[in-house]
Amino acid sequence: MKVTKAVIPAAGLGTRVLPATKAMPKEMLTIVDKPAIQYIVEEAVNSGITDILIITNRGKGIIEDHFDRAPELEDRLIASGKNDVYDEIVSISKLANIYFVRQKETKGLGHAVNCARSFVGNEPFAVLYGDDVIIGDDPACGQLIRAYEKYGKAAVGIKAVPEDQIFKYSSLKVDHLEDNLYSCTDMIEKPKTKEAVLSLFSILGRCVLTPDIFDILDNTPPGAGGEIQLTDAMRTLAQSVGIIGVDYTGKRYDMGDKLGTLQATVEIALRNPKLGEPFRNYLKGIVADL
Ligand code: UTP
């Protein structure tokens, strides 16, 4: 079945990027001239997704405003002859059919994804973590969809993480299949000891899930950090039918981390057609004095 639906969980508290996220959702943190979540929606659309559910909570209303029309602003842009900006602003509201639902309590990523049950129905669907921006020529979400279509199994985006950091992430048991594809048969969220580490491959930012995940989530107790972990539910799938791990191409920026937000700003600005050149010259000037 074709994957046309995506879920973007964006209801986390963003405690690692405070105070920026005291009143503003971390998914709205700006990278150059767009909020992080717009890059993520664009990646989904470029992967063939037509319907997107964004999981929000209290205080995240500006995410809805960003993907809505803005008549007063649009009128002003037309009146002042700024037609290019007008086109760009209007196109944001036409990217996809975007829906919103609230996660009423912040009980973890697994709990957030479970809020998507009635939107998803009985179809496979993509999950794009709302604080992970991935930039690349071949959209990461699309790479996972292709793996799902080829093997008929759920697919997770994976990357090797440094040994001293695996304790902050999930750790996957994998066997190489072909090219950048792996068969994953077990996983653990935030391993506590060296012995519990299955490999340095971790799930980072994206997955394509089958709808049987919802019944599994219903029966998943709180795990690491007292939260209902998506990894714990995916583990059941991995152990029973197996999951495909996709070591996707593209650079991931963690917008839930202060250093990650700085890396995103610098690297994405350098790629910007208008700002890239003057920004590169500016950086060369200050790097000389570091
Ligand atoms: P994180 O664990 O990075 O989000 O979840 P967080 O809770 O905001 O992080 P801290 O407070 O800085 O440690 C990854 C993604 O899952 C969403 C987040 O918004 C983020 O996009 N999430 C997390 C939810 O939607 N609901 C939750 O209950 C937890």
Residue 111 alpha carbon, nearest atom of ligand 1: 28
Of 241, 277, 262, which is closest to residue 152 (Cα–Cα)?
A: 241
Q: How far is the CA of 130 from the centre of ligand 1 (A)?
A: 8
Using an 8 Å Cβ cutoff, are 124 and 208 in contact?
yes
| DSSP states of the chain | ----EEEEE-----GGGTTTTTTS-GGG-EETTEEHHHHHHHHHHHTT--EEEEEE-TT-HHHHHHTS--HHHHHHHHHTT-HHHHHHHHHHTTSSEEEEEE-SS---HHHHHHTTHHHHTTS-EEEE-TTEEEE-SS-HHHHHHHHHHHHSS-EEEEEE--GGGGGGSEEEEEEEEETTEEEEEEEEES-SSGGG---SEEEEEEEEE-TTHHHHHHTPPP-GGGS--HHHHHHHHHHHT-EEEE---SEEEETTSHHHHHHHHHHHHHH-TTTHHHHHHHHHHHHTT-
Q: How far is the CA of 289 from the centre of ligand 1 (A)?
A: 38
Of 64, 36, 51, which is closest to residue 3 (Cα–Cα)?
A: 51
Question: Among 17, 40, 54, 131, which is best to mutate for testing ligand 1, by the most ligand atoms less than 8 A from CB?
Answer: 131
Place of tokens 């048969």: 185
Residue 10 alpha carbon, nearest atom of ligand 1: 19
For the chain (290 residues), the mean pLDDT of every run of 10, in chain order, is 96 94 94 98 98 94 95 96 96 97 96 98 97 97 98 97 94 96 96 94 97 97 93 96 97 96 98 96 90
Residue whose Cα lies nearest atom 15 of ligand 1: it is 129
Predicted confidence (pLDDT) per residue in 227-256, tens digit: 999 999 999 999 999 999 999 999 999 999
Q: How far is the CA of 104 from the centre of ligand 1 (A)?
A: 14
Angstrom distance (rounded) from CA 178 to CA 176: 6
Region of 152 please: left (phi>0), alpha (psi -120 to 50) or beta. left
Q: Alpha carbon 181 to chain centroid distance?
A: 20
Model pLDDT, residue 59: 84
Residue 8 alpha carbon, nearest atom of ligand 1: 21
Model pLDDT, residue 69: 96
Using an 8 Å Cβ cutoff, are 159 and 139 in contact?
no
Predicted confidence (pLDDT) per residue in 83-121, tens digit: 999 999 999 999 999 999 999 999 999 999 999 999 999
| Ligand 1 neighbours (beta carbon < 6 A) | 9-16, 55, 103, 106-109, 111-112, 129-131, 256
Residue 57 alpha carbon, nearest atom of ligand 1: 25
Q: How far is the CA of 284 from the centre of ligand 1 (A)?
A: 36
Q: How far is the CA of 272 from the centre of ligand 1 (A)?
A: 28
Model pLDDT, residue 288: 84
C-alpha separations of 174 from 127, 201, 210, 243 in Å: 21, 8, 20, 9
